Structure 1
Amino acid sequence: MPKVKEKSSSGRFASQQRQSIVFNKDLGQHILKNPLVIDNMIEKAALRPTDVVLEIGPGTGNMTVKILPNVKKLVVCEIDIRLVGELEKRVQGTPYKSKLDILIGDALVTKFPFFDVCLANIPYQISSPLVFKLLAHRPYFRCAILMFQREFAQRMVAKPGDKLYCRLSVNTQLLSRVDIIMKVSKNNFKPPPKVESSVVRIEPINPPPAIDLKEWDGMLRLAFLRKNKTIGAIFHQKSVLELMETNYKVYCSLKNIKIEDKFDIKEKIESILNESGFADSRARTMDIDSFLTLLCAFNSKGFHFVK
């Protein structure tokens, strides 16, 4: 079997026989093979010599070997032990080996260390939870350059009224500035995925809004149950009313607030929505400020949300 020789810009990384590896599609292993795409992603990251970089899912190291010469330290997180072995071979005997720190495990449960920049070709099935894990990471990182399935990337940047506008759009844009910076054809991967991809740049907003993010997301889950329905119609549903009543009674119990004898949850919710002016609004057209105002209207009357 012929050897495939891949070098960094310094030309000091060893050639390896990697064609025998069978990639695991269940783990989302679609290896980015086009060096021009890799170069563009690294360029967009604007790396500094003092940076600590986190790379998620390095695969066989095509991006890894190009990052190493440009940074102080590179931490990679890889779940497949076979690919970890390939990665170790590529840096063996190079001056960059001491810069590389390998974390073996699932990126969703592995604790990430401090990092300035994140670069990743993310397995599509973990895109959403991984984005919010990164946005919850402290201390804050400077930016992340991430590869996603194109429709997922489009949902991240969608605006009110767009067809793809959803809970992901609102949550992502609440916590970060996000832009699509590159489109990538499926032919740039081995094996090629069934969908096209896009590269997104994420810059966390620091400090974040002073709200309870679990409660915020709980409200969004309800609002986007049927994003084309009015908020009033959604909060008239029996299951939603029961949830809101349970949450309200728990809140009153914790605060030693006496619940009035003729308490009517439906009447209370209608009053809040009418007073705030959102009864006839629809989630698909509401912007972040509108959702923040709606949350404040509920909270001011003692109504809270949980996941």
Structure 2
Amino acid sequence: MPKIKAEKKSRIHNDIAKQGIQFNKDFGQHILKNPLIITSMLDKAGLRPTDVALEIGPGTGNMTIKLLDRVKKVIACEIDTRLVAELQKRVQGTPYQAKLQILVGDVLKTELPFFDICVANIPYQISSPLVFKLLLHRPFFRCAVLMFQKEFAQRLVAKPGDKLYCRLSINTQLLARVDMLMKVGKNNFRPPPKVESSVVRIEPRNPPPPINFVEWDGLTRIAFVRKNKTLAAAFKHATTMAVMEKNYRVHCSLNNKEVPEDFDIKQKVQDILTKEEADQMRARTMDIDDFMKLLHAFNAEGIHFA
């Protein structure tokens, strides 16, 4: 019994790559083997010879080698020490060796250095946190060309009213311009994943919009929990009201403002939504300007979402 459990836990592929490495599904390891797709991704990144490029999950280095050929320096972030050794072996004794810096560890927990461009075949299970880690990274990078699971990529570019439009769509588009570049079939990977993939180009808005992203995220979180319901209904939940009342009281305390004895957070929220003609609006059809206007209206009345 313990043996079966251990085998299930490791979930390591039986098929062995040419390099003699077994790919580990726990790390989302699906190595991109088609050189034409790698070349196309690099072409669309607009690389310059002076660039510092960040690659996440370099695997066996198929993209890394082509990157090293085009830029000044490559910073490769890899969690699997077996692949790190393989990558080091591949550049050893070549002119590429001095141009490659390897960061060993989980990219989500790693402090990323300065880079101009990010090109990567992303381990799909870290897609969402990684996008926001990159978009909140300073100093700004020029652009990122990233491979995602097809549906995740579609969510990134979805517009108000689209079926896949969600909090991820609006939060990403607030901070960046996002374009779909190409679809990539499963047979371009070794081993093939269960889903189709797509490549997306993300270009951070620099300077970013003059808005507190933590507050913005708090507002969109409430609105998109039930994106088909009206905002009036979305804001009625007891836990939401409790948090908003607590934030309001903290705001008043910090600004030496007295909270009226008959203060009613429900009524306050309803009044703001009605005044902004937003009470009957639904998150699934609201754009960035709609949410920005609403956030300013709440903040002006001392209601915060941080």
TM-score by length of 1: 0.93
Alignment correspondent of 2:233: 233
**Secondary structure at 1:161 match in 2:** coil
* 1:28 corresponds to 2:35: no
- Output the CA distance in 2 between the equivalents of 1:208 and 1:143: 14
- Output the CA distance in 2 between the equivalents of 1:46 and 1:270: 49
Q: Is the 8 A contact 1:52 1:72 kept in 2?
A: yes
**Secondary structure at 1:224 match in 2:** helix
Alignment correspondent of 1:155: 155
Alignment correspondent of 2:126: 126
Deviation at 1:24, TM superposition (A): 0.5
Question: Larger deviation: 18-27 or 191-200?
Answer: 18-27
Q: Deviations over 1:33-69 (max 9, x none)?
A: 1111101001111111111100010000000011111
Alignment correspondent of 1:284: 284
* 1:115 corresponds to 2:97: no
How is 1:166-245 mapped onto 2 (pairs within 5 angstroms)?
A: 166-245=166-245
One-letter identity of the residue aligned with 1:48: R
> How many residue pairs get matched?
290
- Output the CA distance in 1 between the equivalents of 2:117 and 2:234: 40
How is 1:98-113 mapped onto 2 (pairs within 5 angstroms)?
A: 98-113=98-113
* 1:94 corresponds to 2:94: yes
Alignment correspondent of 1:297: 297
One-letter identity of the residue aligned with 1:177: R
**Secondary structure at 1:108 match in 2:** helix
- Output the CA distance in 2 between the equivalents of 1:230 and 1:144: 35
Structure 1 segments, 4+ long, off by >4 Å, are none
**Secondary structure at 1:194 match in 2:** coil
Deviation at 1:18, TM superposition (A): 3.9
Q: Deviations over 1:80-136 (max 9, x none)?
A: 000001101111111111100111010001111111100010011100010001011
Deviation at 1:254, TM superposition (A): 1.3
**Secondary structure at 2:68 match in 1:** helix
How is 1:255-270 mapped onto 2 (pairs within 5 angstroms)?
A: 255-270=255-270
* 1:136 corresponds to 2:136: yes
Q: Is the 8 A contact 1:47 1:71 kept in 2?
A: yes
**Secondary structure at 1:75 match in 2:** strand
Alignment correspondent of 1:164: 164
Q: Is the 8 A contact 1:185 1:197 kept in 2?
A: yes
Alignment correspondent of 1:12: none
Deviation at 1:28, TM superposition (A): 0.4
Alignment correspondent of 2:70: 70
Alignment correspondent of 2:60: 60
- Output the CA distance in 2 between the equivalents of 1:112 and 1:245: 37
Query: Over aligned residues, Cα RMSD in angstroms?
Result: 0.9
Deviation at 1:253, TM superposition (A): 1.2
* 1:250 corresponds to 2:250: yes
**Secondary structure at 1:201 match in 2:** strand
Alignment correspondent of 2:84: 84
- Output the CA distance in 2 between the equivalents of 1:227 and 1:284: 5
- Output the CA distance in 2 between the equivalents of 1:72 and 1:20: 30
One-letter identity of the residue aligned with 1:226: R
**Secondary structure at 1:118 match in 2:** strand
Deviation at 1:183, TM superposition (A): 0.4
Q: Deviations over 1:228-276 (max 9, x none)?
A: 0000011112221111111111111111110011111111111000001
- Output the CA distance in 1 between the equivalents of 2:135 and 2:30: 24
- Judging changes above 3 Å, is the alpha-carbon distance between structure 1 residues 90 and 19 closer, same or farther for their aligned structure 2 residues? closer
Q: Is the 8 A contact 1:18 1:86 kept in 2?
A: no
- Output the CA distance in 1 between the equivalents of 2:106 and 2:212: 27
Deviation at 1:19, TM superposition (A): 3.8
Query: Which of the pair is proportionally richer in helix?
Result: 2
